């Protein structure tokens, strides 16, 4: 029954698929060996199918075994395998499917006609509908075998055509600040060296010239031209920076017959302005190559390696397209198999205000040049954020560095970049550390804002609570002192913040712990400490929010009142990044919303933009507005009241008309000879808060002496344009 069905199918296919008329096809079948014909046709069809199924699975050995003995003698397995493997690599092949169409012939030579659909990682699906395999009886096997030729890869390859893929890799898109100022573009220039392998005057002299120009070995170029490239290829011999091209271009032209093509490379217009935000580009690591190849890139692709360049790489890089063609020996394109346009990369508009960022850089740099504390301070961080939508307007980590030196083709020149990179890696201040998001620090008194929230929201304190500060706090033998040894007198939550009275907050931490050891730690976590802020576009630390279930891990001791008392003023085991603390104070300023911080505002092409930075409330704390108002009044008095810890720094500032509210912090650090970290966190305007700012200067001294005046200068630039 199966043989009869096959004969019927073959007759129908022959009628529809052969060039002969229907009566001629029937006559041909009738004159073939009638007793063996059905079995022979079925066997031939099975051999052809096994050959194609082996190709589908990449079993080149099984394919080679199905060739005639003569074919296997003429084409070694290695040559056969390499031909198919190279074709698959050129196609970026993922998979293939074949569909039999007809089997025709005279009984001695059969033609198996079929359609093949290829699926490419870059080109998607494309079909080659009219393909043929020739089958003959191989006397040595007394069975049907493939009478193979390179035409069985693609028909034109039987006449010497080559399968080529012309890659269309889009240029990397630009990065702008929120107002359209270019921060990163592709207007740097390098030169690609192209050499015709057929017309090199003296190969060894040429290889020597290329080695000297590129810094690679002569052996590398022997292998590139003699082994890895065809004899008639135009060989891409590598890339030269502009200065190297000027010095070696004439020699390469005379010794190699080289031609040159300019190509753009990444350029940061002010490389030291935002290296911790924008990041830099470079070659992929080995483990990244497979993923890049899956979407059409290769191991030489320049990708984002840090910062927004890395986190938004797919957007900035687009996706390659290309054209797959069969090209004759004369270079003429014979047939286009498939063509896909590249996906256009999209530019990014950051939330950053480049003018404000530049002012922060200038002011902080000047402070380090003139401050008496500067020699002892390895670094600092400043952030400015919109308290209503989480957009970061400025983010600076000092010391900075020029991101251009990390570019594989640095616009500053290779020698300059190498020297600067060596200095960067040897700098003990760790300039590549983004202190704003990756630095974890004791916070000192800026933690008092969190403690005040916990005390008021839990009911442990209220607006009428009073505490007599005598300059010290004691519980048994545990005696702790205020920064003002004479004490501050009668304190409330509001005045405790204004005067930064330590004993007031020691007592708050103690009472919170007595009510429930989890109370204070739970508010720390609720306000984002010990967790990621969700900024996404750059790496960050989670810090440490000590609690009854983790403090033993850090101290080896069980939780006690002492841990809560330490936490209440930002000392002990607690560690937080400036970004985390800024976000915490934004909650106070905006009425209780814990927001996701953003660095990327929009993406798009020219004026066709899509919003990226949408306001995202990660937690509506639902804090009592009256409690937040108490804390805000205390913060405003820090700057405007004569007892405020930062009032003297703002006394003659025009910011008094704007209204600035803030909190100083002086965080003790281990080591007898080390200065404390200097903190100041503020928001403005006082009546309708719009922005919040944090300034943290490592080992610089009191927050009121260093961080507060720096913050004042930055805010004066923001509101009045002076710096």
In whole angstroms, what is the distance from residue 145 CA to residue 139 CA? 10
Q: What percent of the chain has pLDDT over 70?
A: 94
My answer on whether omega of the bond before 599 falls inside 30° of 0, hence cis, is: no
CA atoms within 13 A on the CB side of 386: 18
Q: And the tokens for 72?
A: 């296997």
- 664 touches 500 (CB < 8 A): yes
Verify that 150 and 217 share a domain, yes or no: no
Domain co-membership, 675 together with 529: yes
The rounded distance, in Å, linking the Cα atoms of 321 and 129 is 23
Q: Which has the higher per-residue pLDDT, 696 or 242?
A: 696
In this prediction, what percent of the chain has a pLDDT beyond 90? 76
pLDDT digits (tens, 9 = 90+) for 620-633: 999 999 999 999 99
In this structure, what CATH number is given to the domain that contains residue 214?
A: 3.90.1310
CATH classification of the domain holding 146:
3.10.450.100
pLDDT at 8 over 80: no
Helix (H), strand (E) counts: the chain: 27, 27
d(CA 600, CA 517): 40
Task: Using the 3D structure, point to which of 350, 385, 419 is the last residue of a domain.
Answer: 350
Residue 558 is assigned to a structural domain of this protein: yes
d(CA 463, CA 628) in angstroms, rounded, equals 11
pLDDT at 152: 97
CB-CB neighbours of 128 under 10 Å: 17
Q: What is the pLDDT of residues 144-189, one digit of tens each?
A: 999 999 999 999 999 999 999 887 878 899 999 999 999 999 877 7
Check whether residue 282 and residue 204 sit in a common domain: yes
- How many Cβ atoms sit within 10 Å of the Cβ of residue 58? 14
Residues 408-454: tens digit of each pLDDT:
888 777 778 889 999 999 999 999 999 999 999 999 999 999 999 99
> Does 208 have pLDDT greater than 50?
yes
Q: Which of these, 453, 488, 703, 446, lies nearest to 580 by C-alpha position?
A: 446
Q: Report residue 36: phi and psi, to 5°.
A: -110, -5
| Residue 39 belongs to a domain | yes
pLDDT at 237: 87
Find the helix or strand (DSSP H, E) in which 119 lies. strand 109-120
Summarize pLDDT for 297-349 with one digit per residue, the tens.
878 788 999 999 999 999 999 988 889 999 998 889 999 999 988 889 999 99
Residues 6+ away with beta carbon under 8 Å from 314: none
The answer to whether residue 238 is domain-embedded is: yes
Domain match, 340 and 440 both? no
DSSP string, 398-447: ES---GGGGSSS-TT-HHHHHHHHHHHHH-TT-TTS-HHHH--B--GGGG
Handedness of CA 328, 330, 333, 334 (dihedral sign): negative
For 274, the domain range is: 175-350
Residues 133, 179 within the same domain: no
Burial classification of residue 267, based on how many CB atoms lie within 10 Å of its CB (0-12 exposed, 13-18 middle, 19 or more buried): buried
The CA distance from 149 to 144, in Å, is 16
**Which of 251-255, 257-261, 472-476 is least confident?**
257-261
Of residues 233 and 549, which shows the higher confidence score? 549
Burial class (CB in 10 A: 0-12, 13-18, 19+), 364: buried
Domains identified in the chain, total number:
3
**Is the pLDDT score of 216 beyond 50?**
yes
**What's the confidence (pLDDT) of residue 465?**
96
70 and 192 assigned to the same domain: no
Q: Decide if pLDDT at 10 tops 70.
A: no
- CA dist 492 and 501 (Å) reads 10
pLDDT of the residue at 298: 79
Span 485-504, pLDDT tens digits: 999 999 999 999 999 999 99
In a domain, 669, yes or no: yes
In a domain, 599, yes or no: yes
Cα–Cα separations (whole angstroms), residue 196 to 163, 317, 380? 19, 30, 54
Axis-axis angle for helices 2-17, 22-31 (nearest 10): 140
Same domain, 534 and 635: yes
Q: Would you give the distance in Å from CA 228 to the centre of its chain?
A: 32
Q: Centre a 10 Å sphere on the Cβ of residue 421 and count the other Cβ atoms it contains.
A: 15
Q: How confident is residue 18, by pLDDT bands cut at 50, 70 and 90?
A: very low
pLDDT of res. 451:
98
Residue among 234, 249, 312, 328 at smallest CA distance from 279? 312
Task: Order the strands of the 691-697 sheet from edge to edge.
Answer: 392-398, 380-386, 691-697, 677-684, 661-667
Q: Determine the average pLDDT of the residues in 232-256.
A: 85
Strand partners, 127: 117
Q: Of 327, 350, 373, which residue constitutes the final position of a domain?
A: 350
pLDDT at 38: 58
Any idea what the CATH number is for the domain that residue 595 is in?
3.40.710.10
The enclosing H or E element of 187 equals: strand 182-196
Task: Tell me the pairing of strands 234-241 and 175-176.
Answer: unpaired
pLDDT given for residue 308 in this prediction: 98
What is the mean predicted confidence (pLDDT) over 635-663? 96
Q: What is the greatest pairwise CA distance in the chain? A: 121
Q: 476 and 609 share a domain?
A: yes
Domain assignment present for residue 646? The answer is yes
Indicate if the pLDDT at residue 3 is higher than 60. Answer: no
Contact predicate 599/350, CB 8 Å: yes
Residue 11 has pLDDT above 50, yes or no: no
Distance from C-alpha of 666 to C-alpha of 655, rounded to nearest angstrom: 23
Mean pLDDT of 126-137: 96
Position 272 confidence tier, pLDDT thresholds 50, 70, 90:
very high
The pLDDT of residue 463 is above 60: yes
| pLDDT on residue 37 | 57
Cα-Cα-Cα-Cα torsion 154, 156, 157, 160, nearest 10 degrees, comes to -170
Are 673 and 641 in a shared domain? Answer: yes
Is the pLDDT assigned to residue 407 strictly greater than 80?
yes
Closest CA to 118 of 131, 128, 108, 110: 128
| pLDDT at 418 (0 to 100) | 85
Residue 418 lies in a domain: no
DSSP state of 107: S
**Cα separation, 317 vs 304, whole angstroms:** 9
Give the rounded distance of the alpha carbon of 156 from its chain centre: 43
Residue 35 has pLDDT above 50, yes or no: no
Whether residue 424 is contained in a domain is answered as no
Helix axes 561-568, 448-458, angle to 10 degrees: 120
Least confident of 34-43, 56-65, 394-403: 34-43
Q: Whole-number mean pLDDT of the chain?
A: 91
State the burial class of residue 415 (Cβ atoms within 10 Å of its Cβ: 0-12, 13-18, 19+). exposed
**What pLDDT does 289 receive?**
86
All residues at 6 or more sequence positions from 614 whose CB lies less than 8 Å from its CB, including other chains? 389
Same domain, 339 and 473: no
CA nearest to 708, candidates 696, 723, 721, 692: 696
Give residue 39's pLDDT.
61
Q: Which of 155, 187, 202 is the last residue of a domain?
A: 155
Cβ(324)–Cβ(337) under 8 Å? yes
Residue 506 structure tokens: 């020691």
pLDDT, tens digit (0-9, with 9 covering 90-100), for 70-105: 999 999 999 999 999 999 989 989 999 999 999 998
Same domain for 35 and 97, yes or no, is yes
**Quick one: pLDDT band at residue 709, thresholds 50, 70, 90?**
very high
- pLDDT score recorded for residue 16: 33
Closest CA to 340 of 608, 92, 603: 92
> Which residues make beta-bridge pairs with 119?
95, 125
Taking only the tens place, the pLDDT of each residue in 563-598 is: 999 999 999 999 999 999 999 999 999 999 999 999
The reply to whether 276 and 309 lie within a common domain is yes
């Amino acid at each position: 029954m199966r043989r009869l069905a096959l004969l019927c199918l073959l007759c129908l296919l022959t009628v529809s698929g052969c060039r002969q008329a229907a009566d001629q096809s029937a006559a041909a079948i009738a004159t073939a060996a009638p007793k063996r014909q059905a079995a022979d046709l079925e066997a031939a069809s099975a051999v052809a199918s096994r050959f194609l199924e082996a190709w589908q699975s990449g079993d080149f050995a099984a394919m080679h075994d199905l060739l005639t003995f003569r074919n296997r003698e003429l084409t070694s397995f290695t040559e056969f395998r390499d031909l198919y493997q190279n074709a698959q690599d050129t196609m970026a092949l993922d998979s293939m499917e074949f569909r039999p169409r007809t089997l025709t012939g005279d009984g001695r030579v059969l033609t198996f006609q079929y359609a093949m659909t290829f699926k490419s990682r870059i080109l998607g699906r494309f079909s080659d509908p009219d393909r043929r395999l020739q089958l003959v009886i191989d006397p040595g096997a007394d069975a049907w075998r493939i009478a193979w030729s390179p035409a069985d890869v693609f028909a034109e390859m039987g006449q010497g055509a080559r399968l080529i893929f012309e890659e269309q890799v889009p240029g990397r898109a630009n990065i702008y600040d929120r107002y359209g100022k270019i921060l990163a573009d592709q207007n740097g220039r390098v030169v690609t060296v192209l050499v015709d392998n057929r017309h090199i005057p003296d190969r060894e002299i040429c290889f020597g010239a290329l080695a000297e120009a590129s810094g690679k070995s002569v052996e590398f170029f022997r292998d590139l031209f003699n082994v890895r490239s065809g004899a008639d290829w135009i060989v891409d011999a590598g890339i030269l920076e502009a200065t190297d091209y000027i010095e070696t271009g004439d020699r390469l032209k005379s010794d190699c017959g080289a031609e040159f093509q300019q190509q753009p490379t990444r350029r940061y217009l002010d490389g030291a302005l935002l290296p911790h935000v924008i990041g830099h580009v470079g070659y992929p690591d080995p483990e990244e190559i497979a993923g890049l190849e899956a979407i059409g890139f290769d191991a030489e692709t320049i990708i984002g390696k840090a910062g927004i360049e890395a986190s938004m790489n797919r957007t900035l890089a687009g996706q390659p397209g290309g054209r797959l063609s069969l090209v004759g020996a004369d270079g003429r394109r014979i047939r286009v198999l498939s063509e896909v346009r590249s996906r256009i990369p999209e530019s990014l508009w950051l939330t950053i205000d480049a003018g404000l960022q530049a002012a922060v850089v200038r002011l902080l740099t000047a402070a380090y040049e003139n401050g008496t504390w500067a020699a002892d301070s390895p670094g600092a961080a400043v952030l400015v954020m919109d308290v209503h939508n989480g957009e970061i307007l400025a983010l600076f980590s000092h010391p900075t560095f020029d991101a251009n030196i990390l570019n594989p083709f640095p616009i500053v020149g290779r020698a300059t970049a190498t020297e600067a990179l060596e200095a960067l890696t040897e700098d003990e201040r760790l300039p590549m550390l983004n202190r704003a998001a990756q630095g974890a620090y004791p916070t000192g008194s800026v933690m008092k804002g969190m403690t005040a929230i916990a005390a008021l929201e839990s009911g442990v304190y209220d607006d009428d609570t009073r505490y007599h500060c005598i300059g010290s706090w004691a519980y048994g033998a545990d005696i702790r002192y205020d920064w003002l040894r004479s004490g501050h007198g009668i304190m409330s939550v509001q005045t405790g913040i204004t005067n930064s009275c330590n004993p007031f907050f020691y007592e708050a931490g103690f009472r919170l712990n007595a009510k429930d050891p989890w109370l204070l730690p739970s508010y720390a976590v609720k306000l984002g400490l010990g967790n990621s802020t969700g900024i996404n576009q750059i790496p960050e630390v989670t810090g440490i929010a000590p609690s009854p279930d983790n403090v033993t891990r850090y101290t080896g001791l069980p939780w006690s009142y002492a841990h809560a008392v330490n936490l209440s003023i930002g000392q002990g085991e607690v560690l937080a990044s400036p970004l985390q603390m800024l976000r915490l104070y934004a909650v106070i300023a905006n009425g209780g919303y814990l927001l996701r911080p953003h660095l990327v505002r929009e993406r798009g092409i020219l004026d066709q933009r899509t919003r990226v930075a949408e306001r995202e409330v990660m937690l509506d704390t639902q804090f009592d507005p009256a409690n937040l108002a108490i804390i805000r009044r205390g913060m405003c008095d820090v700057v405007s009241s004569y007892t405020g810890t930062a009032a003297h720094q703002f006394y003659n500032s025009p910011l008094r008309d704007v209204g600035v509210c803030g909190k100083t912090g002086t965080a003790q650090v281990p080591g007898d000879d080390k200065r404390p970290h200097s903190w100041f966190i503020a928001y403005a305007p006082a009546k309708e808060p719009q922005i919040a700012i944090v300034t943290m200067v490592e080992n610089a001294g009191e927050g009121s002496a260093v961080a507060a005046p720096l913050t004042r200068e930055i805010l004066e630039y923001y509101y009045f344009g002076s710096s």
